[in-house]
Amino acid sequence: MNVLVTGANGLLATNVITQLLTEGYHVKGLIRDPRKFLLPAHPNLQLIVGDITDENSVLHATQHCDYVIHCAATTSQNLLQYTSYQLINVTGTENVLNAAQQCGVRRVVYVGTANTFGYGTLAAPGNEALQPKEPFASAWYAKSKLEGQRKALANLGKIEIVIVSPTFMIGPYDGKPSSGTIILMAYGKHAVFYPPGGKNFVHVQDVARGTVHALTRGKNGEAYLLAGENLSYRDFFKQLAQQTNQRPVLIGIPGWFLIGIGYLGDLLRAVGVKTALSSVNMKILCTHNYYTNEKARRELDISFSPITRAIDDAIDWFKKHKMI
């Protein structure tokens, strides 16, 4: 079976490609700059230079593929216009869907985000039946991923679609780095500042397995939260300190202070200054957004590792590549 993976150099896509090759698939990786690819050459792997915003390059990459796993997206938090997110996360998705239909692809697995669904509490975590909530409903990244998700599901009846929705991924092959920045910002520090909220943390390799399982085990038209452990930021940093035998001073940042800084960021953005600071982003840091993985465990036949393993694997990878 031939599988196209878009955004091949991303954290999740790299782990997805590794999982696909392990399971015996032939893989095409669509990538803008092959010099940034982190995996060694493999006889069942072909890298294709292209961009999901270019219809022709997507169509070329999709030829002779049975499946597509659409990982490519922009997650940048400092873009100043919603249209910048739409170009990649929505128009790019439409290009992938159109190419998949023209090339007779059996199924597209669309990689979304957990925040297109409503979060919950530790006692009653969010699930796939809940509508998105503020502040995520106002966050341009989450809005664009929800728009892309709706575009994908609008093609049901023309092609099979399955949605996988990861939470906050930790693990190896985080070359940018992306979400692993949360480890780098605390590792080896004498003092660690943390916001008052919390989130669901998941091992990226578990997400990769769930994504690959969705090719054959996911139900057409269904969405699956790929979630791990629900932790406050304080508890995450305590766990990180414990695993690395470090004793930083943990200092909580008041929510009112973060949101005030966020409004300052809004002013800077209004005059054209690129910054990740915004009132929405700061409100997100103050929110406890927790999710359950029950549906994915049941229907995709997947188990999830403790976050301790994800932290260890991420640190080992960062050390190997001299990033810490």
pLDDT, tens only, 4-14: 999 999 999 99
Sequence-ordered strand ranges (E) for the chain: 2-6, 26-31, 45-49, 67-70, 107-111, 160-166, 168-170, 191-194, 198-203, 223-226, 229-232, 249-252, 288-289
Q: What is the pLDDT of residue 308?
A: 97
pLDDT, tens only, 25-35: 999 999 999 99
Q: What is the pLDDT of residue 260?
A: 97
Domain spans of the chain, in order of start: 2-173+199-230+290-307
Q: 2-173+199-230+290-307: which CATH topology? A: Rossmann fold (3.40.50)
Would you say the pTM of this structure is higher than 0.85? Answer: yes
Instruction: Give the mean model confidence (pLDDT) for residues 303-320.
Output: 97
Q: Under a CB-based contact definition with an 8 Å cutoff, are residues 259 and 199 in contact? A: no
Quote the CA–CA distance of 311 and 317 in Å, as a whole number: 10
- H helices of 125-203, in order, are 140-153, 181-184
Quote the CA–CA distance of 169 and 178 in Å, as a whole number: 9
Q: Under a CB-based contact definition with an 8 Å cutoff, are residues 77 and 276 in contact? A: yes
Q: What is the pLDDT of residue 197?
A: 98
pLDDT, tens only, 246-271: 999 999 999 999 999 999 999 999 99
Cβ-proximal residues to 137 (8 Å cutoff; 6+ apart), any chain:
143
pLDDT, tens only, 134-146: 999 999 999 999 9
Quote the CA–CA distance of 24 and 74 in Å, as a whole number: 29
Q: Please give the distance of CA 230 from its chain centroid, rounded to a whole number.
A: 16
pLDDT, tens only, 162-183: 999 999 999 999 998 999 999 9
Q: What is the pLDDT of residue 186?
A: 95
Q: What is the pLDDT of residue 20?
A: 98
Binned at pLDDT 50, 70 and 90, residue 154 comes out as very high
pLDDT, tens only, 107-132: 999 999 999 999 999 999 999 999 99
Helix (H) or strand (E) holding 263: helix 255-270
pLDDT, tens only, 266-301: 999 999 999 999 999 999 999 999 999 999 999 999
What is the percent of the chain with per-residue pLDDT over 70, rounded to a whole number?
Answer: 100
